[in-house]
């Protein structure tokens, strides 16, 4: 058996290829949209990809099932409750997929979504104990999938939570301890709240250490897994819907190209949104007025999907030699409306000096002085609830997590200076740039974020 995990750090997303080396037949599970890596590996090993399985309708990225099927002729598999605009193979409880000796067996594990499935992997069809189980977003390492993402489309979080209780507590915990667990996401994903940095585990380890796998009633389970969830990024519903649809295929060869400064500025004036993927300090030194700063070195795709409009034309300012990477990362979440990017951005911004502005960033000491002054600013904390509870907060600060910010702009005063902070200065730069883009005029953020503020205000031992 060939078994490989492909892990995408930016989205904390894991996909898999399983093949029988004697027959050369392979299946890819939960592929991302840019599928060249899977196809290159399959070609190098002489494999034919015969099927592609999505464990559920993913909300945090656009899956690559259509791209895989187009390039290989593979069938597309989903749980039997799935309904799509394209042809699929519906997979029900107990269905088996033979690749030769290597065999896959389907478990229906609803709860994160109604159609969620897990995939048991057997090295040999006659094995009593499976090699592993691909759990999708039903069971993570240290957590389970959040059951609240579909509450707005006719299925309540409580209903999904009850389904998830049965899937985790009875079906998955009914497997032998030695079965390896391979989830679809790891630490940092917004699909859960307590995900581990480990990328594989065992049923036994999860039984012993995962809070949601301890025996408990359905009522207690629903309460514990729905509590403390952060706001879902704004693009999640868009991507979940897009994954059901017949859509345009991603083609790296036809990616957007460099634009002249004249064309770039003309599109900006016409309403295109500039997304600036440079480091916050570079952005603060000088950026196109109204640009939204989403740094490339971070959770770029998720954060871009949180703060950028779903339907606007986008213009990219990227770190040198990373323009195509940024375009691909936007495409992974279905943001295909990129008109182009600035080549040699440092030189281009110099040529656009009349529409370039700095961004205000304060030190923690400067914020302290401002708060003690005659016209104190409104402090806006864009961290998640859990961070405030664990680490503390600035007294009197308005709290709106970054994921909720685009939908709560009317709660923020426009007639007072604003100072934003997060944990370390990354998310606050994103949030401050979004407010400026939305017309807020006096906006700063804190260098070093809460960490710098706490250090300044912690009494010496």
Decide if 165 contacts 109 (C-beta within 8 A). Answer: no
Residue closest to 33 by CA, chosen among 70, 5, 3, 2:
70
Torsion from C-alpha of 282, 285, 290, 292, nearest 10 degrees:
20
Q: What is the DSSP string of 63-112?
A: BSHHHHHHHH--EEEEETT---SS--EEE-TT-EEESSS-EEEEEE--SS
- CA dist list (Å): 96 to 87, 120, 272, 405: 19, 9, 49, 45
- Percent of the chain past pLDDT 70, that is, above it, reads 96
User: What mean pLDDT comes out for the span 218-238?
Assistant: 84
pLDDT of 324 strictly over 80: yes
pLDDT in tens, 306-316: 999 998 999 99
- Rounded Cα gap, residues 295 and 80, in angstroms: 39
pLDDT in tens, 115-149: 999 999 999 999 999 999 999 999 999 999 888 77
Task: For the sheet with 132-136, list strands across it.
Answer: 96-98, 103-108, 117-122, 132-136, 180-183, 201-202
> Which residues are CB-neighbours of 352 under 8 A, at least 6 positions away?
261, 265, 288
Q: What is the reported pLDDT for 37? A: 97
Q: What is the reported pLDDT for 182? A: 97
Least confident segment among 120-129, 371-380, 384-393:
384-393
Mean pLDDT of the residues in the chain: 93
Domains in the chain: ranges and CATH: 2-242 (3.60.15.10), 255-357 (3.40.250.10), 360-457 (3.40.250.10)
Decide if 312 contacts 340 (C-beta within 8 A). Answer: no
pLDDT in tens, 173-188: 999 999 999 999 886 5
**Burial level of 83, CB count in 10 A (0-12/13-18/19+)?**
exposed
Q: What is the reported pLDDT for 227? A: 77
Q: What is the reported pLDDT for 188? A: 56
């Amino acid at each position: 058996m060939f078994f490989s995990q492909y892990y995408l750090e930016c989205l904390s997303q894991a996909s898999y290829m399983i093949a029988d080396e004697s027959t050369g037949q392979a299946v890819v599970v939960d592929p991302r949209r840019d599928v060249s890596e899977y196809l290159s590996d399959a070609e190098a090993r002489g494999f034919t990809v015969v099927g592609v399985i999505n464990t559920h309708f993913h909300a945090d990225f656009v899956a690559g099932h259509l791209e895989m099927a187009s390039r290989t002729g593979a069938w597309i598999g989903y749980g039997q409750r799935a309904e799509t605009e394209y042809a699929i193979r519906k997979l029900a409880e107990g269905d088996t997929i033979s690749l030769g000796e290597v065999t896959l067996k389907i478990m229906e594990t609803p709860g994160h979504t109604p159609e969620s499935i897990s995939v048991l992997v057997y090295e040999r069809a006659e094995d009593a104990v499976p090699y592993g189980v691909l759990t999708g977003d039903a069971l993570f390492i240290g957590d389970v999938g959040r059951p609240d993402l579909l509450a707005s489309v006719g299925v309540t979080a409580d209903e999904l939570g009850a389904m998830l209780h049965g899937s985790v507590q009875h079906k998955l915990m009914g497997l032998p301890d030695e079965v390896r667990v391979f989830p679809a996401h790891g630490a940092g994903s917004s699909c859960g709240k307590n995900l581990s940095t480990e990328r594989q585990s065992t049923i036994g380890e999860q039984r012993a250490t995962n809070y949601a796998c301890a025996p408990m009633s359905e009522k207690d389970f629903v309460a514990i897994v729905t509590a403390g969830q952060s706001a879902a990024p704004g693009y999640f519903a868009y991507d979940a819907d897009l994954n059901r649809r017949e859509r345009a295929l991603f083609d790296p060869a036809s990616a957007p190209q460099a634009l002249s400064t004249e064309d770039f500025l003309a599109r900006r004036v016409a309403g295109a949104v500039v997304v600036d993927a440079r480091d916050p300090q570079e952005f603060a030194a000088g950026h196109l007025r109204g640009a939204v700063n989403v740094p490339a070195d971070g959770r770029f795709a998720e954060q871009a999907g949180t703060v950028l409009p779903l339907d606007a034309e986008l213009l990219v300012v990227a770190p040198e030699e990373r323009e195509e990477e940024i375009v691909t990362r936007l495409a992974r979440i279905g943001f295909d409306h990129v008109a182009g990017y600035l080549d040699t951005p440092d030189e281009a911004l110099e040529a656009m000096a009349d529409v370039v502005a700095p961004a205000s960033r304060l030190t923690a000491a400067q914020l302290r002085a401002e708060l003690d002054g005659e016209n104190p600013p409104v402090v806006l904390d864009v961290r998640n609830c859990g961070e405030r509870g664990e680490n503390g907060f600035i007294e009197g600060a308005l709290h709106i997590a970054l994921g909720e910010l685009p939908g709560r702009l009317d709660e923020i005063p426009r007639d007072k200076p604003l100072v934003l902070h997060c944990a370390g200065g990354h998310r606050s730069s994103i949030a401050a740039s979004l407010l400026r883009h939305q017309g807020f005029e006096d906006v700063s953020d804190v260098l070093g974020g809460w960490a710098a503020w706490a250090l300044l205000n912690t009494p010496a031992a």
